């Protein structure tokens, strides 16, 4: 329940267009989630009446919040860099496939999403590289009354907009979990990145 719901937040949080470098990452995340809750009230009925429109709305929200190329690079990890790593074209292709798999999976799960209450938690310390790696902690209460903690890892993109690059759920690193899946596919496909991307696309 917790991982599924927070995975939804990973793919569905709405970017606020005013989230420029003059606004803190905490303020941006607070606005993202507030807008997410409003957006879900608006689009949930589409899941039954116009499913393509529903998933288009999910994908639109996703693209505004997540830098999928950066996330894909992190999921590929050591396979995404270096002379034997993914090419730019392979990285772009995997980012697209990864994006679609998350939209399909979490978009379906989000159709049963209930209410939630959240609050931003004080930072433990100042980040050493705030523009590239700023953690934002949040305490969330789900519709069943349970509370859990998430940590958004944010960075400023080239346009000065806060974007999500990773997410922790109760200390569990989601990007690392996806890397484990990618690494397993690399081993089973003789370390052929194109075949891995094909397999990822089919399996999702």
pLDDT at residue 155, rounded to an integer: 94
Q: What's 93's domain CATH number?
A: 3.10.450.710
The closest alpha carbon to 70, from 99, 103, 31, 110, belongs to 99
Total number of domains constituting the chain: 1
**Taking the CA atoms of the chain, what radius of gyration do you get in angstroms?**
17
Q: What is the pLDDT of residues 86-124, one digit of tens each?
A: 999 999 999 999 999 888 877 887 777 666 788 999 988
Q: Which pTM was predicted?
A: 0.81
pLDDT at residue 21, rounded to an integer: 53
Enclosing domain of residue 94: 2-203
């Amino acid at each position: 329940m917790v991982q599924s719901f927070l995975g939804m937040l990973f793919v569905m949080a709405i970017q606020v267009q005013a989230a420029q470098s003059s606004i803190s990452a905490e303020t941006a995340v607070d606005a993202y989630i507030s807008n997410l809750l409003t957006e879900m009230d608006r689009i949930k009925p589409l899941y039954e009446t116009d499913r393509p429109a529903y998933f288009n709305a999910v994908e639109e929200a996703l693209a505004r919040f997540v830098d999928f190329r950066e996330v894909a690079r992190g999921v590929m990890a050591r396979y995404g860099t270096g002379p034997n790593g993914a090419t730019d074209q392979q990285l772009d292709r995997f980012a697209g496939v990864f994006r679609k798999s998350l939209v399909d999976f979490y978009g379906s799960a989000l159709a049963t999403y209930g209410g939630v209450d959240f609050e931003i938690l004080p930072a433990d310390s100042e980040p050493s590289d705030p523009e590239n790696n700023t953690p934002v902690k949040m305490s969330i209460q789900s519709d069943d009354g349970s509370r859990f903690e998430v940590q958004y890892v944010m960075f400023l993109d080239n346009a000065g907009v806060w974007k999500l690059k990773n997410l922790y759920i109760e200390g569990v690193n989601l990007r690392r979990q996806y890397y484990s899946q990618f690494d397993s596919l690399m081993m089973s496909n003789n370390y052929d990145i194109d075949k891995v991307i094909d397999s990822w696309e089919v399996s999702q």
